[in-house]
Amino acid sequence: MRDHSSTILKIKPSIALIITLNDKNVIMGTGSGFIFWKKNILVTCNHVVKGVNSIFLKFPGVETPISAKVLLKDEEHDLALLKFEDDSRSPLELAPKDTVKEGMPVLFAGYPINIQDLTTHQGIISSIAKDPTGKVIYLIDGTVNSGNSGCPLMDEDGKVIGVVNAKGAVRPDIIEKVQGMSS
C-alpha cells in the first residue's frame, strides 16, 4: 500500500469545509470544496450552497472562518464557484485527462458527515460510464458520505480528475465546465 502522507500534506491547505447558514444564522449544512483554477476561487457542488443566506469556509489550521459568496453556479451540472478573500492558498493541479483509467487508485479529501477535520479516503475507479444524459461519470469503489460533496477526486499525486458528488456519481465534465466558466 502506498504512503499518501506527502500528497495529503500538499493538498490539505487547498480543501475547505463549507458551512452554510440560513437567514436566522442557523447552520443549514456542511460540505466540501477545493481551490481550483485560480486563487480565491473554490469549487463545490451547487446543492451544497443552494438556497442559503451565508457561506463560510474553514481551511485546515485556520480557526476563523472566511466569508464566501457564490460567483457562478450551474444547476444542470450541480456546480458552484465561490469567491473568497484569502490569496495565500494555491489551486490544486489538474491531472492529464488521458490518465484516468478503470482500476486506477484515487484519493478524495473532504469533510464527511459533519466532521470538522479533513478526511482523506482512497479507492479505485471501478467504472467509467455514462449517465442518462450521456455525460461521462466515474464510479468509485471507496467510501463517499454526505459532506464529501464538492471535494476533489484526485490521482495518487493529488492532481484533480473530478468533483465528488455524494448525491450522484463523479462527473469529470465538471472540471471542464469550471475551466470554461468566466466571471
> pLDDT digits over 8-66, tens only?
999 999 999 999 999 999 999 999 999 998 999 999 999 999 999 999 999 998 989 99
Residue 137 to residue 131: CA distance in whole angstroms: 7
Active-site residues, by number, are 47, 78, 149
Would you place residue 114 in the very low, low, confident or very high pLDDT band (cuts 50, 70, 90)? confident
Residue 134 to residue 138: CA distance in whole angstroms: 13
pLDDT at 172 exceeding the cut of 50: yes
Taking the whole predicted model, whether its pTM rises above 0.85 is answered as yes
Number of DSSP helices (H) and strands (E) in the chain, helices first = 3, 11
How far, in whole angstroms, is CA 165 from its chain's centroid?
Answer: 8
Residue 58 to residue 67: CA distance in whole angstroms: 9
72 CB-near residues (< 8 Å, 6+ apart)? 80, 81, 181, 183
